[in-house]
Amino acid sequence: MSLALVHSRARAGVRAPQVRVEVHLSGGLPSTHIVGLPEAAVRESRDRVRAAILCSQFEFPSRRITVNLAPADLPKDGGRFDLPIALGIVAANGQIPREALAEYEFLGELGLTGELRAVDGVLPAALAAASAGRKLIVPAGSGAEAALAGHVEAYTARTLLEVCAALTGNKTLPLAQAPAALPEPLPDMGDVRGQHRARRALEVAAAGNHHLLLIGPPGCGKTLLASRLPSLLPQASLEQALETAAIASVSGRGLDPARWRQRPYRSPHHTASAVALVGGGAQPRPGEISLAHHGVLFLDELPEWDRRALEVLREPLESGVVTVSRAARSADFPARFQLIAAMNPCPCGWAGDASSRCRCTPDNIRRYRGRISGPLLDRIDLHVEVPRLPPEQLRTDAPGGEASAPIRERVIRARALQHDRVGHANAQMSQSELASHCLLTAADQSLLERAIDTLQLSARSMHRILRVARTIADLDQAAGIQTRHLTEALGYRQLDRASV
């Protein structure tokens, strides 16, 4: 029977659904047809596959070749199916044993010489192959990424000929090896001079996974502070790191297997579009908010961003997921990121500065701040003013601030309390968890209600104040929220819409 079946994996968001590559040889004029909703790159594989088979010294059958990529309603794109298609043709022609294909899954793009080239989306495919109980064969350039899956038996090959030799038992392929971890040194908080209030807010944000907005004149250290946040965060768990690495793998922008355990830090330019932030394309790929999953997304010059681009952040800030929908297909991408934003207090940047150099009118300042919508501000837990430092604190021999290491220890202790209590960071507490773990005394409840009424804050703002107060209490290792914790949390809501 001139029929062969090869297992492979497609790419659909961060998933890797199974694809059965069915190859049938029949009589008729020599031709090759690929069916099963292939994109242009997949249809073009027939020419690459034919040249690769001939250059590998195999016979290319002079028969009618039909390649079916099942399921038929799943779009297939990229060159990842070149290797399984070539193996299916060679096996259907009786040049390698068909039964040897059953225990493997294959991914790889073929050069005209039969050389195997790396493809993206290998990590999700490796995780899926492990769940299916099959081995995986990938190009040598993708081996380090496949090895990150841990439980999969992944092998690497450099050419089509090597894969065929392994399937016939004439060669043993090397196991994929993960590279040694190369942790990149992170910027340290010890470089930050002064700015005690902003440093404290950064510690609170790290401890509870809260979003933070820094407001200050040019050159006051907003970007410097934001870049130090990753050094305060605890190391990502294995599950979190794999989720983040899988997103990077399917993004088409490359995954560094040596640094996959580090939390991402993304800082797109303010001219980036809404699609660049949330993801998109005919074949949906993740955007910046998904690439920052379990890490930090820094948006500088927040009022200069396009209003439509900023508004797309509102739902992911709450849900931690973004759905990219197109006419032909849609994909869900995780987006549980920590937002750090920075802005000037006015168009010229010097409103409120002691130098009195600002000449912006109140209307100009209102319009400038009004570029950020109230609903978006509602979703940012901490609003902190970052003043300009006096010259004596900027001297090279001036004492530096507290280093990241002791702050990170306090953050880890606070996060341990939160995970013991609710299983996640305080910023993700639900309404029922708030009611159970953010109880206030009668006097503190009255204080909160007066503040809500005075500042005209929303119910969402009130809940975020309670979450921040719970985080401050955790940093103090306190059993409950005390008055000083609540007043500090209230002090971080000064830029809400009513106060603009």
Do the domain assignments include residue 316? Answer: yes
pLDDT at residue 499 tops 60 = no
**How many percent of the chain have pLDDT more than 70?**
98
Q: Are residues 283 and 150 in the same domain?
A: no
What CATH number does the domain containing 84 carry?
Answer: 3.30.230.10
Q: What is the DSSP string of 158-176?
A: SBHHHHHHHHTTS--PPBP
Buried b (16+ CB within 10 A) or exposed e, 426-441: bbbbeeebbeebbebe
Does any domain span residue 254?
Answer: yes
pLDDT digits (tens, 9 = 90+) for 387-420: 888 877 777 777 778 899 999 999 999 999 999 9
- The residue type of 486 is L
Instruction: Indicate the residue among 373, 399, 417 that finishes a domain.
Output: 417
The set of residues, in sequence order, having a beta carbon less than 8 Å from that of 196 and lying 6+ positions away, is: none
- Using one digit for the tens of pLDDT, what is the confidence trace for 175-234? 999 887 777 788 999 888 888 999 999 999 999 999 999 999 988 889 999 999 999 999
Provide the CATH number for the domain around residue 312: 3.40.50.300
**389/403 Cα distance (integer angstroms):** 19
- Single pTM value for the model: 0.90
Q: Identify whether residues 298 and 411 lie together within a single domain.
A: yes
Q: Work out the mean pLDDT of the chain and round it to a whole number.
A: 91
- Residue 81 inside a domain? The answer is yes
Report yes or no: 146 and 122 within 8 Å, Cβ to Cβ: yes
Q: Are residues 157 and 198 in the same domain?
A: no
Partner residues linked to 35 by β-bridges: 68
Q: Report yes or no on 149 lying in a domain.
A: yes
pLDDT at 350 over 90: no
Measure the CA–CA gap between 197 and 209, rounded to whole angstroms: 18
The answer to whether residues 152 and 198 belong to one domain is no
Give yes or no for a contact between 336 and 294, defined as CB atoms under 8 angstroms apart. yes
Euclidean distance between CA atoms 297 and 272, whole angstroms: 13
Given a cut of 80, is residue 119 above it in pLDDT?
yes
What is the rounded average pLDDT of the residues 90-95? 94
Query: Per residue in 254-283, pLDDT tens?
Result: 788 888 889 999 999 999 999 999 988 777
Q: How confident is the model at residue 494 (pLDDT cuts 50, 70, 90)?
A: low
Please provide residue 378's backbone torsions phi and psi, each rounded to the nearest 5 degrees: -55, -35
**Are 57 and 198 contained in the same domain?**
no
**Mean pLDDT, residues 98-112 taken together:** 95
Distance between CA 375 and CA 440 in Å, rounded?
26
Most confident by average pLDDT, 286-290, 372-376, 453-457: 286-290
Residues 37 and 68 in one domain: yes
- CA atoms in the 13 A half-sphere facing the CB of 276: 14
Contacts of 99 (CB under 8 A, 6+ apart): none
Please give the tally of structural domains in the chain: 2
* pLDDT given at position 323: 87
- Domain assignment present for residue 183? The answer is no
User: Do residues 250 and 124 touch, judged by C-beta distance below 8 A?
Assistant: yes
Structural domain containing residue 257: 189-417
Give the pLDDT confidence of 131-186 residue by residue, as tens digits: 999 999 999 999 999 999 888 899 999 999 999 999 998 889 999 998 877 777 88
Whether residue 11 contacts residue 78, with contact meaning beta carbons closer than 8 Å, is answered with yes
Helix or strand (DSSP H, E) at 91: helix 82-92
Same domain, 327 and 219: yes
Which of 337, 333, 334 shows the shortest CA–CA distance to 12? 333
Phi, psi of 489 (to 5 degrees): -65, -40
Residue 381 lies in a domain: yes
**pLDDT for the residue numbered 498:** 38
Q: Are residues 153 and 208 in the same domain?
A: no
Q: Say whether both 223 and 368 belong to one domain.
A: yes
Q: What is the pLDDT of residues 423-462, one digit of tens each?
A: 999 999 999 999 999 999 999 999 999 988 888 888 888 9
Q: How far is 343 from 335, CA to CA, in rounded Å?
A: 23
Residue ending a domain, among 384, 417, 450, is: 417
Closest by alpha carbon to 380, among 133, 210, 215? 210
pLDDT in tens, 293-340: 999 999 999 999 999 999 999 999 988 999 888 766 788 899 999 999
Contact 284, 250 (CB under 8 A): no
The answer as to whether 444 is a domain residue is: no
393 assigned to some structural domain: yes
Band the pLDDT of 380: cuts 50, 70, 90.
very high
Task: Tell me the DSSP string of 237-295.
Answer: PHHHHHHHHHHHHHTTS---GGGTTSPPEE---TT--HHHHHEETTTTEE-HHHHTTTS
What is the predicted pLDDT for the residue at 496? 58
229 with 329, same domain: the answer is yes
Clarify whether residues 154 and 203 are in a common domain.
Answer: no
161 with 193, same domain: the answer is no
Choosing from 365, 393, 417, the residue where a domain stops is 417
Which residues 6+ apart lie within 8 Å of 61 measured at CB? 25, 30, 89, 92, 93
CA quadruple 418, 449, 214, 287: dihedral, nearest 10: 60
Closest CA to 342 of 308, 312, 306, 372: 372
Q: Which helix (H) or strand (E) holds 88?
A: helix 82-92
